Amino acid sequence: MKIAILGTRGIPNNYGGFEQNAENLSVYWTKMGCEVIVYSTDEHPYKGNEWNGVKIKHVFSKESKLGIWGTFIYDYLCLKDAVKQGYEIILNMGYVPSVLFFYLKGKTKSKFITNMDGLEWKRSKWNRILKKFIKYCEKKAVNLSDFLIADNPAIEDYYRTTYKISHIKYIPYGAELFNDPNPKFLEEHNLEPFKYYMLVARLEPENNIETILDGYILSDANEPFVVIGSLRNKYAEYLLNKYKGIDKVRFAGGIYDYKKLSSLRWFSKMYFHGHSAGGTNPSLLEAMASNAYICAHDNPFNRHVLGNEGFYFKTKEDVANLIRSYTNKYREDFIRKNRQKIREIYNWEKVSKEYLRVFEEVLQK
């Protein structure tokens, strides 16, 4: 099977969830005998044309200079190229703004599969006009895709109910169980095992970073709080300015070394997950796979993944109370059950095979 993956900034991952998904799926599919290509921006630090057997095609974007217009150009050029290449499957990771160019579908026999991500129009970083535009794109993606993937049952239910459709299936993200923690990685950040709090996220408003940090400050905790995420956006600048006088809040920037990041999660006293815009978030799965003791934002998406094996918050007061009343009582039980979920449900091999099953069904139709 010939498969093209579009809509990410490329692999190996140095950005976020879609890239992590593309990285793992493409490698598994290649091992299974598929021919896989991942489209990558020209600004990706990895410049090779192949990675772990997966072909990579670098395409013009210049997002650093052109901003959102670079994204439009990149999505158009990727799709324009992909429809010419004779791939059986074009997997679109997300639909904004790429769905504007789905009219190119008429020029190919390729089947368009779209991973719909979370409820993009709910993200608080968008203004009213952009939210309407995203909702418009969502409807076009539903109508123009041959099949849709939802990474969380709550997302699948939303599309089935809202659009009265059946061409959608829930397939989660995956994660790899981590078994090799190294406390030496803590020394780089002047941390001691189980004597710090942390979060890993893109620094965006809908990830509730302010709520978490405000709650942490309100709790008067003595242990430091480590924030891991790229500092290259305006909201990150705002956060850095807001908390610059508080030494215990440490912004470590983006960390993409899997062993280092997993070790930091493993040895944290409590791990906070603030994502709220929907879907099964890869960083939550990775935290579960890394023995993290997790406190997540209270919403249906996180509850579906974490279940009863974690704590939940909605307000800064909730965060403060959880830190003040911290107990190690449930750590062993929560970690054991969360690792079992990774092994049995959020397993990359199982996830990759589910995608291929969908592809085969769509091609047969």
> Do residues 136 and 88 share a domain?
yes
- The Cα 102–Cα 85 span in angstroms is 16
CA dist 294 to 88, 113, 319, 341, 348, Å? 40, 33, 12, 14, 21
> Do residues 224 and 320 share a domain?
yes
CA dist 327 to 200, 255, 291, 292, 322, Å? 22, 28, 16, 14, 9
Q: Is 268:198 a contact under the CB 8 Å cutoff? A: yes
Strand partners, 51: 54
> Do residues 45 and 117 share a domain?
yes
> Do residues 196 and 314 share a domain?
yes
Q: Comparing C-alpha atoms, which of 135, 112, 109, 111 is closest to residue 122?
A: 135
Residue 179 in domain: no
> Do residues 125 and 242 share a domain?
no
CATH of the domain at 164: 3.40.50.2000
Residue 296 clears pLDDT 90, i.e. is over it: yes
Tell me the per-residue pLDDT of 225-265, one tens digit each, with 9 for 90 and over.
999 999 989 999 999 999 999 999 999 999 989 899 999 99
Runs of H (alpha helix) within 220-330: 234-242, 258-266, 282-289, 300-306, 316-324
12 prior amide bond cis, ω within 30: yes
Domain extent for 295: 184-344
Tell me the per-residue pLDDT of 25-81, one tens digit each, with 9 for 90 and over.
999 999 999 999 999 999 999 999 999 999 999 999 999 899 889 999 999 999 999
pLDDT band at 173 (very low <50, low <70, confident <90, very high): very high
> Do residues 299 and 157 share a domain?
no
Query: How high is the pLDDT of residue 43?
Result: 95
Residue 156 in domain: yes
> Do residues 107 and 141 share a domain?
yes
In terms of pTM, does the model score above 0.85?
yes
Residue 205 in domain: yes
> Do residues 12 and 149 share a domain?
yes
| Total domains present in the chain | 2
SS3 of residue 48 by DSSP: coil
